[in-house]
Structure 1
Amino acid sequence: MADNPDVRVGTAEREQALSALSQHFSDGRLTLPEFDERSAVAASANTRGQLDSVFADLPSPSPNPTASAPLDLRKTTPPANVDEDDGTDGWDWRKTAMAVTPIVALILFFIVPVSNSWLFFLLIPLVGALVAGGNRSRRRNR
């Protein structure tokens, strides 16, 4: 079914196509106007056929030169700051909660008639502590 040119593509496929176009551009296979034109087509593509037409005259991207080197497993360590995928398809509720909290605190500051309304701003570190504390189980499993 993936070979059918009428199959609709999603954001992930469009992003992969844009990444591949960037690689072709950095390899010198595309000029800037060609890259701009093909990027516009890839970004607005709805079907597999539209994406494939962007790469019709391009070879498959060259592999990373460091990837073809022999892999020494003794020196390979995972990055320390990379979070494991938690199955949320890229949406992290913790980041959203931290982004929304200052806005909520500001709204409460102006809306709720309390004599010490500045205390609503204490929600920001409180939510930060709760969000960071909720991530402990994932850190222990590594």
Structure 2
Amino acid sequence: MTDDSTYRAGDADRSEALDRLGTYFADGFLTVHEFDERSGRAAGAQTHGELASLFDDLPGLSASNRAEPPAHRMGSEVAAQEELDDVLARNRKVQAVDAVIWSVTMIAFFLGLFVFHWNFFWVVFPVAALASWGARAVFQLSDEEEELAEELTQKEKEERAERLRLAAEKRRELGQ
């Protein structure tokens, strides 16, 4: 059986260890001095064993967690982030295609109704709905993925608005 503690640690492993130390510090398990000392050791760690030893006396770590290299846990997080980025990119593409479809639909509707006096000017709406549905099929965007992307986009907009509001308040406080 191979001892994982002798495997070389990479930047991602050291970064994950630093994040965990920050959590322990924020939760009050480490003093400022201990945090500084352990952070320095984490930044210079060359093996998973050196990283694991930083957490030996801290609660919440079982032997199996210490033996598992942090990179294995981070791999699934990275894959999840990449999958989320893919969903968000596909959602942006679908939104762009929808904007074009419905813009052309409205132009065709008004032209058909007022300029060309078509009897079946309303047909453009079912055609547009089918085209919009087809865009989702082409980009393989499910309803759940679209809802998630919309929810995340809305949350990002709200967070940005809050950041801007706080910046405006600080600017007013400083008299600028």
Normalised TM-score (structure 1):
0.44
Structure with a larger share of its residues in helix: 2
Structure 2 length as normaliser, TM-score?
0.36
For the pair shown, the structure with the greater C-alpha radius of gyration is 2
